[in-house]
Structure 1
Amino acid sequence: MHLLVVEDDLSIAEPLCAGLLREGFSVQHVATGAEATSAGDADLVLLDLGLPDLDGRAVCRALRAESNVPIIVVTARSDEIDRVTLLELGADDYVVKPFGFRELVARIGAVLRRTGASETSGASSTASAIDLGWLRLDRRTRRVTVDDDEVALTPKEFDLLAFLAADVGTIHLRDEIIRDVWDENWWGSTKTLDVHIASLRKKIGATSIVTVRGVGFGLAEHRDAASGER
C-alpha cells in the first residue's frame, strides 16, 4: 500500500515515514499543499492541516475533488476540526497531535478496510466489491449474496459484514469492531455487537464467523474452516 504523507515538520515526518516503512508501507513524503495536489496516485493520504503554503482544508477538498483516495487529517488542536467539518472536507478520519504511532497505524488499517482499499487474503477485492466465492458483497449497491442467493441485511449488519470481509481470516478485537462499525465514541452496550453477530450467522451461515472468546470475531475464508467459537 502506497501512502502519501503531507507534513512540513521534519521532526515529525522523518520518524513517521521511517515507522510506516517498517510497517511495510510504501511512503512518499511532501511538505507543502502544492506538492500534495501534484503528487500522483496514493492508496491513502495523511494530511497535516497546518501547511506553510496552502490551507490544509483547501488541500483536502482539492484531493477529494480529484479522486476517492482515503484521507486521514492530522491536526494540532482537537477544536480545529469536528465530525461535521470532517465530512464537509471529504476526509475519512482524523488524528490529533501528539498521537501514538500504533494508534495511527490502527487508524490507517481501519480506514483502508472501511473504504475497501486494503488487500485481502484469499479474496478478490475492489474498492466496491468483495468476492469470496461463497459470499459476494458489493458496497456500491449494498447487496450481499451467499451461494448466489441474495441475503437481506439491515444497514448495520451490512456494515459489520463489510468490515469483517475486508480482512478475511483476521480476528478483530471487540473494541476495534465497535469503534469502526459503530462509533469511536460509542457509549452503548457492547452486547449489541453479539446480537448483530448472531443475526449475521443466521443469515449467512453459522460457521461463517469465527469467535475467539473474550477477544473478538473474524470472517472465515471458507465456511467449513470455521469452528464457530473457540
Structure 2
Amino acid sequence: MYKIFIAEDDERIASILSSHLHKYGYEVSMAEAFDRIKQEFLEKNADLVLLDINLPYFDGFYWCRQIRAVSNVPIIFISARTDELNQVMAIEHGGDDYITKPFHLEVVLAKIKSVLRRTYGEYSSALHQETQVVELGGLYIYPDKFEAEWDNKRISLSQKEFQLLSIFAKEHDRIVTRDELLEALWDEIEFVDDNTLTVNVNRLRKKLGELGIENAIATVRGQGYRFCVNWKDE
C-alpha cells in the first residue's frame, strides 16, 4: 500500500482528496503543522507528496526544496495558480508534476498512478534492471544511487534527471526526439505540458554544469536532443 502525504491548508480540499484516495487503497496522511512540513513528511515516511503552493509560513516551493534535500520521493503540486511561470517554478524547485485547481479527481488519480509506476513499479524495475555503473567519456553514472560523477565531483539527481541522463548516455550516438523522451518519462502524454520536458532537460544541463560538463546536451531544432560526449577532450 502506497503512502501519500497531503500538504494542503484548505481542509475541504484535503479531505476530498484523502477520501477519494482512500477508496483506491492508498494510505493517506495530511499535514497538521504547516511550519514543520518537512519533519511531518519524514515522520510519515510517505511514498508521494501532494503539495499546495499557497501555504502558511512558507510556500510550497520552499517545502519542495526542503523535501528534495532529504528525499527523491515524487512530488506533485496542486495549486490554483494556473500561469506557466508557476508551473515552471514548480519543476525547477524539484516537483515532478503540476495539477491546477479546480481539478478532476480522476486526473489526480491518473497522475498519481503514473508517477508511482515510474518510481516504484514496473517501469522502475526496468530502470534499475542494470545496476552496474555506467561510464561514458569519464562520466560515471550510478543507477543504485541516482548519482553521477566526473573529474572527482559528484552530483545527486532526481528521478526524472536520472532517467534523462540514462537515456542520453545510452543513445549518445543519435538524436533522441522529444516524443521519445515524453513517452519514456511520462505515461500519459496528454497530461504533460511540452514545456515540462524542456524544464527537466534544462535542470539536467545545470546539474552537469555543476560537474564542469558544459554543452553536453545539444538541442536539434525541430527534432530533439543529442548528447555530445566532447567534454572528454577538454
1:77 matched to 2:102? no
Offset at 1:77? 2.2
Which ranges of structure 2 fall in alignment gaps of 5 or more residues? 131-142, 144-162, 198-234
1:19 aligns with 2:26: no
Judge conservation of contact 1:71–1:92 (CA < 8 Å) in 2. Answer: yes
Cα offset, 1:59, TM superposition: 0.9
Closer, same or farther: CA 184–27 of 1 in aligned 2, 3 Å: farther
Q: How does 1:38-53 map to 2 (within 5 A)?
A: 38-39=39-40, 40=42, 41-53=45-57
Contact 2:14 2:30 in 1 (8 A): yes
Q: Which residue of 2 aligns with 1:104?
A: 108
- Given the superposition, is the C-alpha separation of residues 23 and 184 from structure 1 closer, same or farther in structure 2, using an over 3 Å criterion? farther
Aligned CA RMSD, in angstroms, stands at 3.6
- Report the Cα offset of residue 98 of structure 1: 1.1
**C-alpha displacement at 1:13, in angstroms?**
0.9
Partner residue in 2 for 1:129: 128
1:104-162 CA deviation, whole Å, 9 max, x = no partner?
1112223334xx31323xx8828x4247xxxxxx74633899xxxx9x87534763674
Residues 67 and 88 of structure 1: CA distance in aligned 2, closer, same or farther (over 3 Å)? same
Q: 1:88 is matched with which residue? A: 92
2:146 match:
none
Identity of aligned residues (%): 35
Q: TM-score, normalised by structure 2?
A: 0.55
1:142·1:158 contact (CA, 8 Å) conserved in 2?
no
Partner SS for 2:12: helix
Residues 39-48 or 152-161, more deviating: 152-161
Shift of 1:37: 0.3
In structure 1, list runs of 5 or more residues that go unmatched: 132-137, 165-171, 187-230
Q: Which residue of 2 aligns with 1:155?
A: 176
Contact kept? 1:31, 1:51, Cα under 8 Å: no
CA distance in 1, matches of 2:84, 2:29: 26
Instruction: Work out the CA distance in 2 between the residues paired with 1:74 and 1:88.
Output: 15
Q: Deviations over 1:19-56 (max 9, x none)?
A: 01111212111144434201212221100111122222
Query: Does structure 2 retain, via aligned residues, the 8 Å contact 1:2–1:26?
Result: yes
In 2, distance between residues paired with 1:31 and 1:163? 33
| 2:194 equivalent in structure 1 | 183
Residue in 2 aligned with 1:192?
Answer: none
Tell whether the 8 Å contact from 1:33 to 1:56 is kept in structure 2 after alignment: no
Structure 2 Cα separation of the partners of residues 21 and 95 of structure 1: 19
Aligned pair in 2 of structure 1 residues 153, 14: CA closer, same or farther (>3 Å)? Answer: farther
1:10 Cα deviation after fit:
1.2
- Structure-2 residue corresponding to 1:190: none
CA 6–80 in structure 1, closer or farther in 2 if over 3 Å, else same: farther
Give the equivalent residue in structure 1 for 2:67: 63
Superposed displacement of residue 80, structure 1 = 8.0
Moved runs in structure 1, 4+ residues, more than 4 A?
none
Task: State the AA in 1 paired with 2:37.
Answer: A
Separation of aligned partners in 2, 1:28 and 1:50: 19
Following TM superposition, by how much is the alpha carbon of 1:101 offset from its aligned partner in structure 2, in angstroms? 0.3
